[in-house]
Amino acid sequence: MMENQLSGYLLRKFKNSNGWQRLWVIFTSFCLFFYKTHQEDAPLASLPLLGYTVSIPSNSDPVNCRHVFKLHFKSHVYFFRADSEYTWRRWMEVIRRGVSSPGKIGHLAEDGSMVNFPL
């Protein structure tokens, strides 16, 4: 059984889509697993995060909502929206820790940017 590092409902939007999809998301073992609800046994999809970068959306991104973070790798771009600033910060911190290079740790600055410290 995998160790659950973080789970909860998030809204997901693909780069070129208009709407948001509400999903139960579990982050564990460098991967996001997506479920229709928290009661589902089998995931709808998974997204391995090695190589991805997590950030706040830029002004040119097609989102204009609060509590949104962006996952991107090459041409793959996903947006996720949390229901509160606390939840948003928590997801960003846990994902950044999970996908960051070994030997670095960090924390979120007030503006949502990441501050890294060598170990």
29-84 per-position pLDDT tens digit: 889 999 999 999 999 999 999 889 999 999 899 898 999 999 999 988 999 999 99
Three-state secondary structure along the chain? CCCCCEEEEEEEEECCCCCCEEEEEEEECCEEEEECCCCCCCCCEEEECCCCEEECCCCCCCCCCCCEEEEEECCEEEEEECCCHHHHHHHHHHHHHHHCCCCEEEEECCCCCEEEEEC
What mean pLDDT comes out for the span 86-96?
93
Give residue 15's pLDDT band: very low, low, confident or very high (50, 70, 90). Answer: confident
> Structural domains in the chain?
6-118 (2.30.29.30)
